[in-house]
Structure 1
């Protein structure tokens, strides 16, 4: 009996362990019985029927999908101006209906690929309605802006409650086929058990061939601006130098005028003094003038030929005559 009891205990222990499973926090367990969904397990310890039930653990946290998941290809979008843009973006989403989500992936479909296909289609439709300046504008108040564009794309991906209720009874295969054939269809991502939380554009670039021409044009425009600035500086420098020269000329002219005026006044005062002195004692004044003339005349080695009877020697004669009289 004991020999029989030990294997039974081991079998019961094995059955017990195989019937227990744990769902970690941030995950959900889809319980399958013969590959049909019979329930959803919340985080914690749960039981299942060994051999009949199977549990598929699904991540319930918010997930982020980047535009680089588009098979590594750049996504080109055309604006209303017929300009090509390369848009780098990411989308955050979470699973709201785990049963519907499992039905989608059970058929070998990738929800991320479906989401990116739908997102690219909606972005292409929305960007085609705007100009480049509208897409660059990130104002929340303007309906023609990047933020408003992302809100419209998110709402279009989630759809309305009515549209979601209508397609709940549509087979998943038909919805997947429609989404893959027409990325701009109105199929809501809620139909696949997914809700889009946020869509964000990280970067907007021009294609490389367009960027080169734009950079060349910008460089040419900056060169024109720089040349205009240089010419403006040269012109202002010439104007400044001309103004400085004019001011200096005016100052020198005014100074020369004042100097001549002062010299004229001085000469006039000197002439007046001479005239007053001459009028007071003309003989003495003539005598002083003659002495200065004698001083200037006999200073050097120059030879002068003057008649002894000249008026120039009048005062010298007068001095000689006085000496003769004294003798």
Structure 2
């Protein structure tokens, strides 16, 4: 047992030394191998690696995945009209140069996030300060994002950081101007609505006038056609009567006298003072009028 004790101690020391010299690099990490405070090697491929035991060499890992900065507190940015906007944004970024990133931030990811947020704030100020509210909200929103992206990309590269994308999530008016802006928008919409109603009323009157004119024209044409048809009918009837009466003048005289009797004696209370021997009553005395 006494002979095995030194062997076991030596074996434990050997295992400890070996464990301090071997390290594993995962797919999601960069590994920086330091020797006396200086970066000697940057490892980006995953696998098992070896180094000298501390304090001669030590390893620091950095995240190589795509990271997100989601700004929780909206930035207050002023437009060219001196109106404040509250803008929420988020950024996709990754460590591009691990050595430069570590030299710049000491491997502190939080410090990198704060620096990038400051760059985004500067980019937003530069892009929004020269535009109006309408441009930022709708007309040139994509241009604003592209300008901020290009600005942050160029300024983040010397820090060992690659900026993949910058997006504006929400753009709102600051509380102190929201009410006045909404009232102005309401007034503009009301003015547009009144103009639309006025145009509609004018168009309605024009359509009615046109319809009335067409109606009068159609009635006039119809009345003219009716009078022409009636005239043609009366002419044909007169011709037929004349032809019929011309064939028998005695019957014509008898028929006209009957019509005269019907008109003269049509009411029970009618009273006539005439000479019974006149020609008007000749057909009452004789069917032949003699």
TM-score range normalised by the length of the shorter chain: 0.7 to 0.9
1:261 aligned counterpart, secondary structure? helix
Q: Cα gap change, 1:271/1:6 in structure 2, threshold over 3 Å: closer, same or farther? A: closer
Matching of residue 218 in structure 1 with residue 185 in structure 2? yes
Q: Are the aligned partners of 1:19 and 1:49 in contact in 2 as well (CA < 8 Å)?
A: yes
Indicate which of 147, 150, 156 corresponds to 2:148.
150
1:228-253 superposed Cα distances (whole Å, 9 cap, x missing partner): 33333333333333333333333333
Residue of structure 2 equivalent to 1:63 = 67
Q: Are 1:233 and 2:200 matched, yes or no?
A: yes
Q: Write out aligned runs for 1:247-266 (5 A).
A: 247-266=214-233
Offset at residue 209 of structure 1 (A): 3.5
Deviation (angstroms), 1:297: 4.3
- Say which SS state the counterpart of residue 65 (structure 2) adopts: coil
TM-score (structure 1 length as normaliser): 0.70
Q: Which deviations, in whole Å up to 9, do the C-alpha atoms of 1:36-60 show, x marking residues without a partner? A: 4443344322223434133222112
Distance 1:205 1:148, change over 3 A: same
TM-superposed deviation, 1:321: 10
**Pair 20,301 (structure 1): closer, same or farther in 2 beyond 3 Å:** same
Local SS of the residue matching 1:110: helix
Alignment match, 1:196: 163
- Map 1:43-54 → 2, pairs under 5 A: 43-52=46-55, 53-54=57-58
Deviation at 1:22, TM superposition (A): 1.2
Q: In structure 1, how many angstroms separate the alpha carbons of the residues matched to 2:89 and 2:213?
A: 64
For this pair of structures, how many residues does the alignment match? Answer: 283
Contact 1:137 1:146 in 2 (8 A): no
Over 3 Å counting, the alpha-carbon distance change for 1:127 and 1:288 in structure 2 is closer
Question: In 2 relative to 1, CA 45–233 (structure 1 residues): closer, same or farther, beyond 3 Å?
Answer: same
Structure 1: segments with no counterpart, 5+ residues:
159-188, 323-327
2-structure distance, mates of 1:284, 1:150: 113
User: Residues 278, 157 of structure 1: CA spacing in aligned structure 2 closer, same or farther, 3 A cutoff?
Assistant: same
Matched-pair contact (CA < 8 Å) for 2:83–2:177: no
Distance 1:280 1:320 in 2: 16
Alignment counterpart, residue 290 of structure 1, candidates 257, 282, 285? 257
Q: Corresponding residue for 1:14?
A: 16
Aligned to 1:128: 129
Match of 2:283 in 1: 315
The change in CA–CA distance for 1:309 and 1:89 in structure 2 (over 3 A counts) is same
Gap change, CA 1:284 and 1:155, over 3 Å in 2 = same
User: How many angstroms apart in 2 are the aligned matches of 1:121 and 1:93?
Assistant: 17
Report the Cα offset of residue 263 of structure 1.
Answer: 3.0
Residue 242 in structure 1 maps to residue 209 in structure 2: yes
TM-score (norm 2): 0.78
Q: 1:308 to 1:84 in 2, by over 3 A?
A: same
